[in-house]
Each structure stands twice: as C-alpha cells, then as structure tokens.
C-alpha cells in the first residue's frame, strides 16, 4: 500500500486489513494512527474500495495491566469516531488488549467442547475402539475447525 506512513505497519489478507503503530507517548499514537487511517482511506478510494466504519475496530494493546489512560486513543474513519474495544479477531485469532491468549483459548475451548464429548462417547461406546479411526475423527472434528 502506497502512502502509509513509515511509522505504521500493515497487514493484508483477502478482505482483512490491519494497521498498527507504536509509541512511548500516547499523544503520538493518536496522531500517527489518524494519519495512517487517512492515507488508507485515500488508498481505498484510489482502488475503488469501500470502507465499512461499522466493521472497524480499535484496540490499544499494552502489557502493563495498571496503565489506565485518561485520554484514550480516538480515531475517525469516514468522520465516524471508532470506539475502543477490549479485543479483536484477526485471521482467526482473538487478541485482547493485554496481549494474553485467555480470550482466544476460551473461544476455542467452547467451540470444540461438544465435538470432544462426541469423541469421548464414541470411544466408550465401541467394544474395541480402532485407534486409527479415533485419530482421524479427532483430526477432522477437533483439530481442523
């Protein structure tokens, strides 16, 4: 993407885009991120792409749990203020603002719980469970989704 300032990184995959920047000063973050968003909006217009501000998420990542900012980062996309979120989903992973995997692992656990119960039931119900079949069931039901 042309025009994105050098202090901002970006990631593109299919129709997912992420912009991120870092700074030791919170005031710099706001200006840097807004400048990057403005350039991204110009890039989208040049390529005739439509941004959907309702799908835009803003997460302030910090590994310092006691950092409470009086004036959080505030950016606009197409003149709509984006409210900060505590987590976001990008490329199948849920990342929370404390950079822990707790939220992501909880979602994975919830998603596979019923399938794991089915696998346990099948293992107990079989007189002589075939290990190859059970491994294939595990791979198809639990590991891939």
Domain-by-domain residue ranges, the chain?
A: 8-100, 103-143
Dihedral angle sign, alpha carbons of residues 62, 17, 85, 24? positive
At residue 48, the pLDDT reads 93
Q: For 4-8, 43-47, 86-90, which range has the lowest pLDDT when averaged over its residues?
A: 4-8
- pLDDT for 55: 92
The better pLDDT of the pair 115, 25 is held by: 115
> What pLDDT, on the 0 to 100 scale, is given for residue 103?
92
| pLDDT more than 90, % of the chain | 35
Angstrom CA distances, 29 to 8, 16, 60, 122, 139, stand at: 10, 22, 10, 53, 43
Quote the CA–CA distance of 90 and 109 in Å, as a whole number. Answer: 18
Please give the pLDDT value at position 67.
60
Q: Give the C-alpha separation, 10 to 4, whole Å.
A: 8
Q: Quote the pLDDT of residue 123.
A: 86
What is the tens place of the pLDDT at every residue in 55-65?
Answer: 999 998 887 76
Rounded to 5 degrees, φ, ψ at 54 are -65, -25
Question: pLDDT digit string (tens) for 72-99?
Answer: 788 999 999 999 899 999 998 999 988 8
pLDDT (mean) for 109-113:
90
Task: Give the per-residue pLDDT at 78.
Answer: 93
* Residue 63 vs residue 36, higher pLDDT: 36
Alpha carbon 81 to its chain's center: 20
């Amino acid at each position: 993407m042309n025009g994105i300032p050098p202090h901002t990184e970006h990631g593109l995959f299919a129709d997912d885009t992420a912009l991120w920047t870092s700074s030791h000063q919170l005031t710099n973050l706001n200006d840097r991120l807004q400048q990057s968003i403005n350039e991204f909006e110009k890039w989208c217009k040049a390529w005739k792409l439509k941004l959907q501000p309702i799908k835009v998420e803003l997460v302030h990542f910090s590994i310092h749990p006691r950092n409470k900012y009086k004036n959080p980062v505030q950016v606009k996309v197409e003149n709509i203020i984006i409210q900060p979120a505590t987590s976001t989903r990008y490329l199948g992973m849920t990342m929370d603002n404390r950079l822990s995997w707790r939220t992501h692992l909880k979602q994975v656990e919830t998603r596979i719980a019923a399938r794991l119960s089915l696998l346990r039931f099948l293992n107990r119900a079989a007189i002589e469970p075939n290990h190859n079949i059970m491994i294939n069931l595990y791979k198809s039901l639990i590991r891939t989704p």
